[in-house]
Structure formats: structure tokens, C-alpha cells
Amino acid sequence: MNNDVVFVTTVEDKINKYTVREYSNAKKARELQNIIGRPSIQDLIKYVDKNLIPNYPVTRQDILRADDIFGPDIGSLKGKTT
């Protein structure tokens, strides 16, 4: 009998750490990342901090939450890694 214990963190577990509004804003942040060409998280934070994306209600915290909930953007990773 195998008594190994495996802990798996799911997206649902991570979603439950946040309010409905925080989750919704995190989805908007990931959507924005996809729309503008999948920049890295660091670059996206720079764009938002410098207000280079006007009239889009996303904050630095929303971007960090999206990264926590969904993990790194796969499309962004594929384009930048070998």
C-alpha cells in the first residue's frame, strides 16, 4: 500500500483566497495582458504604473493577483523561452 500524500493547489483554491471583485479584476488584468501582446508581468506592471494604458481599470495588485491565481501566462512564456 502506498501512503504518499500529495498536495495539489488548484486554481479554485487560489480563487477562494480573494473576493469576487478581486478575482474579476485579476481576470481583466490577464485579459489586458493577452490583448496587448502578452508582455511579461514586470513589463505589464511598468505600463500600468506609468499610466501608458489609459482608460483600462487595472492596477498593479490586479496583475499580481492574476499571476497568483492563474500562474504565468503560457503564451508569454512560449514566446520568450527556448
pTM: 0.80
Predicted local distance difference test score (pLDDT) of residue 65: 96
Of residues 2 and 47, more confidence is placed in: 47
Predicted local distance difference test score (pLDDT) of residue 81: 62
Q: In the predicted model, what is the mean pLDDT of residues 40-59?
A: 94
Domain ranges of the chain: 11-80
What is the rounded distance in angstroms from the CA atom of residue 27 to the CA atom of residue 50? 21
**pLDDT value at 56 more than 80:** yes
Residue 35, helix vs strand vs coil: helix
Predicted local distance difference test score (pLDDT) of residue 49: 95
Question: Which helix (H) or strand (E) is 14 found in, with range?
Answer: helix 11-15
pLDDT band at 53; cut points 50, 70, 90: very high
